[in-house]
Amino acid sequence: MNSERPRSLPRRALSAIGRGLTFVRNTFLNVLALSVVVGLLAVLFAGGPKVEKGSALVLVPKGNIVEQLAAKSPSDLVEDFAGGGTEETLLKDLVDALAAAKADERISSVYLDLDEMGGAGMTVLEDVAAALADFRSSGKKVVVAGDLFDMRRYYLAAQGDELLLHPQGMVLIEGFGRYRSYYKDAIDRLGVTWNVFRVGEYKSAVEPYLRDDMSPEAKEADLEWMGDLWRAYLAAVAKARKTTPEALTALVDQLPERLKASGGDPAKLALDAKLVDRLATRDEVRKRMIELAGEDSKSKSFRQVALGDYLEALGNDRPGAKGKGDAVAVVVAKGEIVDGTAGPGRVGGDSTAKLIRQARQDEKVKAIVLRVDSPGGSAFASEVIRRELELAREAKKPVVVSMGSVAASGGYWISTSSDEIWASPETITGSIGIFGMFPTIEKPLAKYLGVHVDGVGTTPWAGLRIDRELPPRAGEAIQAMIDQGYEAFLERVGKARKMTRDQVDKIARGRVWSGADAKGIGLVDHLGGLGKAIESAAAKAKLGKTYRVTYVEKEKSLKEKLLSSLSVRATRLAAAFGYTLAPAAETADGPGAALLGAVAAEVDQLSVWNDPRGVYAHCLCEVR
C-alpha cells in the first residue's frame, strides 16, 4: 500500500493559472475603461467645427424659443440622448448668430427650417424677425422651407426672401385664444372647500376654482389685449409679405370657402393667397440651396453649418463679447417667481437678487437692465428682487426694465424699482393684484373615507390644517393680509409711476393690458425691445458708444460645464455617424391627452408656489 501524500504541484499550478486569469481580466477591464475615458476626452476636447467659405447658416429652432434655457440635470441630458427629452432654443443664440453671419464672408445665406419649432412669445418672435431683417440688409438671402406653418412659425417664415412650402403642407393662421379648464363643479362634487382671497375683479388667476366659466370682466380685458396682439401680428406679417392686414383677415374669416375653391388643397390655397412663394419638395429645396451655397462633395447636399457649430466656431467672437471697459449688465428674470433659489427658467427671489447684487458691486458695470419675462408668482420673492434693484439705484447705477412677452403681476412688481420701463406693444403686462388660496378637504375625507378631525387649541389660530375647516376668524385674517399686500402693490406702483393711490387702483384691480395700452395709461415709459432698453441704460450712465454688454448669470459648476460640452460634442459625433439625438415624438394624443396635459400643467404650476405667507401676485395670462 502506497502511503505517499499526493504532490501539491497541481494545486500550485491551478492557483498560478487563477492569478494569471485575474491579471488578464483586470488588465483588459482597465484598458477598456482607459479607452472609454480617452474616447470621451477626445470627443470633449476635439477641435471645434470649421466653417467653409460660402456656407449657408442653417437655423432649425427646436422646441420653444426662450429668453433663458431651463436648467437641466445629468438625468435630463441622458433622457435627451434617449430621445425622450424636451428641447428649447435660446433667443440670444439665434440673434447672435444672425448678427455675426451678416458680416461673415464665410456665410453666403441663411436656411431657416421651422418644422421643429414649438412656441414663442410675440416679443421673442419680433426679436428674431428683426435679426433676420438685419441680416437681409447685407444683401444675403434668407430661404425658409417647411411642411406646416402655424401662426407663430409663419410670423418668422414671412421674413424670408424665399418662402417654400411642401406640396402636402399648409399654413394655418389661427389667431390668439385663451381657454382654460374650470374646476368649481368638480370641486363641489368632491366636497373640497377652496378658500380664495383676492383683490380686484379682473384678477382672473383664481377664477377656475370659483367658477365654471370665464367672468365677463375677464372676457372684456382679455379680448382687449388679445385684440392688440392680433392687430400687431397681422400688420407685421402683411408688411413682410407685401399684402394688407385686411387681406389676411379676409383669408382667415373665409377659410372654408377659400379652401373649397382650392379643391380642398391647403398648400394650393397658401400659394394662391401669396402666403408662400412656391411649393417645393425636399429635393427641390436642396437643389435651390445648392444654387445659393454650392454643393458639399461629401454629403451631396449644400454647404452648410449648423447653429451650434457656428456659435462654437465663433467662440468669443460673438457680437459684443470682445468689448472692454464699462458695461451695461443684463439680468434675465424668466419664468415663475418663487421664494429662495431657483435655476434657469424660474425666477428665484434670492438667486435673482444675488445676480443683481453682483452687477451692483461690479465696478465696471455702470448700468443694469432687467429683462422681465414673467407672469409673477410669490409676492415675498418679488419684493426681495425689487429691493435689490432699489439698492442698485441708490448706488447711482441706472436701472432700466425691458419687458418681454409677459411682465405681469409679480413681473410688474419687480419692475417698479427702475428709472425707466420699456415694453413691446405686444407685451402682456399689468395685472396689478394679489390673491391667496387655502383648500381644505375635510368633507370628502368624512364622506368617502369616514375620516374626521377634532381637537382643541389655545387660540383660534391653532390647528390650521388642510383636513380641517378653515376657521372664519382665520379667513378674516388672511383677507386682511391680502388687502395689505394689494395696498403695498399700489403704493409701489404709485411711487414709481408718480400716481396717486386711486389713480393706480383704477387701472389695477388685476386687469391685464397690452404694452401699447400700458404706455397710454402710464404703466410703461417707452415702446421698444431689449436693444433699445440697453441703449437707454447706457445713455443714462453716460457711456457713449464704446460700452460693452454683459449678461450676469449664475456661474456653471465644473460638472455642469463638462456635461454641457459633452452634450454638444456627443450630438456632433452622433450626427457624423448618421444618428440624431432628438426628442422622440409624443405619442399621447386626442382630447383626453389634452385635458390631462392641461390639468397636469395646472398642478405643476401650483406645486412651485412657495410664498412664505401664501400671498401671490400672479397672472395666468398665456395665450395659445
Which residue, 65, 129, 136, 145, is CA-closest to 107? 136
Q: Is 203 a catalytic residue?
A: yes
Average pLDDT per consecutive 10 residues, the chain (624 residues; last block may be shorter): 48 59 64 56 59 93 90 53 67 94 94 94 94 96 96 96 96 90 90 85 82 90 92 96 96 94 95 96 95 88 93 76 80 93 90 96 96 93 96 97 95 96 95 87 91 88 86 87 91 95 94 94 96 96 90 67 50 46 42 51 60 68 62
Question: In the prediction, which pLDDT does 321 show?
Answer: 57
pLDDT of residue 36: 53
192 touches 478 (CB < 8 A): no
CA distance 159 to 137: 12
Could you write out the DSSP letters of every residue in 55-114?
A: EEEEE---BEEESSPPP--HHHHHHHHHT----EEEHHHHHHHHHHHHH-TTEEEEEEE-
DSSP state of 446: I
What confidence score (pLDDT) does residue 591 get?
Answer: 46
Q: 185: which residues sit within 8 A by CB, 6+ positions away?
A: 212
Sign of CA dihedral 75, 81, 82, 84: positive
Determine contact, residues 130/122, Cβ cutoff 8 Å. no
Q: What is the pLDDT of residue 386?
A: 97
The domains of the chain, with CATH numbers, are 55-177+253-316+560-584 (3.90.226.10), 323-553 (3.90.226.10)
Helix or strand (DSSP H, E) at 330: strand 327-334
3-state secondary structure (DSSP) of residue 456: coil
Comparing C-alpha atoms, which of 402, 433, 423, 432 is closest to residue 518? 423
**422 - beta bridge partners?**
402, 526
| Catalytic residue, candidates 374, 378, 382, 409 | 409
Locate 506 and state its grid cell: 383704477
At residue 548, φ and ψ (nearest 5 deg) are: -115, 160
Percent composition of the chain: helix, strand, coil (DSSP 3-state, to 5): 45, 20, 35
Which candidate in 72, 92, 203, 334 is catalytic?
203
CA distances from 236 to 126, 171, 231, 270 (A): 9, 16, 9, 18
Q: Among 92, 550, 554, which residue's Cα sits nearest to residue 365? A: 550
Judge whether 355 and 552 are in contact, CB under 8 Å.
yes
Beta strands in 99-215 (DSSP E): 107-113, 141-149, 162-171, 193-199
Q: What is the DSSP code (8-state) at residue 401? A: E
Spatial strand order in the sheet of 193-199: 193-199, 434-440, 616-618, 376-378, 337-338, 347-348
For position 259, what pLDDT does the model report?
93
